[in-house]
A = this chain, B = another copy of it.
Amino acid sequence: MPSPDPLLDAVTFDDDGLVPAIVQDAETDQVLMMAYMTEATLRDTLERGRMVYWSRSRQEKWVKGQTSGHAQSVEEVRIDCDGDTLLFKVEQEGGACHTGYRSCFYRRGEDGHMVPDGTKVFDPDDIYSTT
């Protein structure tokens, strides 16, 4: 059954039924992360107005911020020319990265080396403790 939503109709999902979603801070335009969505989690994202992904490693729905509190509210959604990549602008609570950095892209190449270059906004031990 075709979706009534023109955005969902415009998306080309890959062979695994996934589409990559680039996530940008709506305020600063910093790229925070990239993750994947199924048609169901994309629909969920659009309905809730907060980012819901598909975890490829855990093979399950992943409501961003459910464990960490670091949720992402959707401010804007865009789709690229061939419909196989999404771009979201979000309001990010805390940090996007499980390592505690604001952005997952906290390592920068410099003269053939990788140097840390990011802002740490929380201590992951405080959040993901298993005890």
Contact = CB atoms under 8 A, between A and B. Distances in A.
Contact of A20 (B4, B20, B79, B107): B20
Q: How large is the interface on A (under 10, 10 to 19, 20 to 34, 35 or more residues)?
A: 35 or more
B10 A85 contact: no
A61 interface: no
Contacts of A79: 105, 107, 109, 114
Contacts of A112: 4-7
Contact of A34 (B33, B80, B109): B80
Scoring A20, A76, A101, A114 by chain B CB atoms within 10 A of each residue's CB, the highest score goes to A114
25 contacts: A6-B113, A6-B114, A7-B109, A7-B112, A20-B20, A20-B34, A22-B22, A22-B34, A24-B31, A29-B30, A31-B87, A46-B109, A76-B109, A77-B108, A77-B109, A78-B106, A78-B107, A78-B108, A79-B105, A79-B107, A79-B114, A80-B104, A80-B105, A81-B101, A85-B104
